[in-house]
Amino acid sequence: MAGFFGWILIHYIYNIYNEKGIKMDIKYVDVCCGLAWGDEGKGKIVSQLARDGGYNFVCRWAGGDNAGHTIKIKNKVYATHLIPSGVFFGVTSIIGPGCVVNKESFQKELTYLKHLGFDTSLVKVSPKAHLVLNHHISEDLEKQHKTQGSTARGIAPAYRDKYARAGHRVEEDSFFDKYLWDEKLRGKVLCEGAQGVWLDIDHGNYPYVTSSSTLPYGACSLGFPPQKIRKIFGAAKIYDTRSGSDPLFPETLIEDPELKQIIEKGREFGTTTGRVRKVNWLNLDKLIEAIILTGTGILIISKVDILEDLDKFKLTYESKLIEFSSLDDMIMFINYHVRNQCKYVKKLLYSDNPEEVPSLL
């Protein structure tokens, strides 16, 4: 009998610790990924989740400072390129083992955050993350940047050296000692994606892709089993955008008068590079494919206010350009086809606000 009550007591204590995130155990993992070519508003979604979701960790699983998140908090705009968004809300922010890290960029970003009054002791880097070195950047400038429109941050050469087993890890540079992560997660974890599905090294329009996995299962490289994933938040925009070279986004798009209006109204300029993003009407077939591929359960489509302000509502479906008389009609069309073809989607949300997504949690 004493053994039974002892077991009850242990179970009770376990639950208390687990709820408070004290015990070294993961309760669940939520993942936010991009469903297009990057720049889908993931920063807004992740910052709202980090602020309100009670997470113990916000983690980045892939990429380097070639990505960028723009975050708006109380009418102030912040931008990060490598450090996860949790740092803005007092949450431990992890740069995972699947990332590549440029020491100078990392240091610059820490200085930027410190200057703004944020607690940079919350920032941790996996000792297994690989370093982007100067010769990687030089090579990128000479090759990938010229032929594929890369960001010239040395990302592809750094990943090549990693997989050739010729790279150098963060743990080899003493500068990172005070920021090294102990590689343990607990409680509630949020993983923020970089780039989007159609920039994925395997599923994108190769070779016009990034050098890592952008799909949500890549988050498991942080060191947890896929069974821990609770929710997958998929981010898209009401129109498509693309930075860098890609035959699917020809340069002629920039000259289209209506698409040019979207660029200007939507301020479609890269967070990391500042270059103009090419804009096209939403490709609903690609969006549906991305939703299915990622297992997205909560779909967030942002910037609906841009089309509403311009009073232009178009998308491509089954290779046909379709025009609608109102935003409501366009949304109704999207909802119908997404719900009919994407069995995992439980919630569709539309955002016209750079800070908030209604009913996100």
Residue whose pair of structure tokens reads 């009073």 in the numeric block:
311
Question: Catalytic site residue 39?
Answer: yes
Question: Which DSSP symbol is given to 208?
Answer: S
Query: 321 exposed, middle or buried (CB, 10 Å; 0-12, 13-18, 19+)?
Result: exposed
| 165's tokens | 């087993």
| Cβ contacts of 313-317, under 8 Å, gap ≥ 24 | 314/281, 314/282, 315/281, 315/282, 315/283, 315/284, 316/280, 316/281, 316/282, 316/283, 316/284, 316/285, 317/284, 317/285
Residue of 63, 68, 90 lying closest to 80 (CA atoms): 68
Options 11, 25, 30, 39, the catalytic residue:
39
Options 30, 65, 69, 240, the catalytic residue:
69
Which SS3 state, helix, strand or coil, does residue 215 take?
coil
d(CA 123, CA 87): 7
Residue whose pair of structure tokens reads 């998140």 in the numeric block:
69
Question: Catalytic site residue 69?
Answer: yes
Query: Are 118 and 124 spatial neighbours (Cβ–Cβ below 8 Å)?
Result: no
d(CA 273, CA 79): 12
Which SS3 state, helix, strand or coil, does residue 361 take?
coil
d(CA 192, CA 41): 11
Which SS3 state, helix, strand or coil, does residue 348 take?
strand
d(CA 48, CA 68): 16
| Cβ contacts of 269-277, under 8 Å, gap ≥ 24 | 270/39, 270/68, 270/243, 271/39, 271/68, 271/69, 271/70, 271/79, 271/81, 272/65, 272/66, 272/67, 272/68, 272/81, 272/151, 272/153, 273/151, 273/243, 275/243, 277/39, 277/241, 277/242, 277/243
Residue whose pair of structure tokens reads 């860098």 in the numeric block:
244
Q: Quick count: other Cβ atoms within 10 Å of Cβ 127?
A: 18
Q: Which residues are catalytic?
A: 39, 69
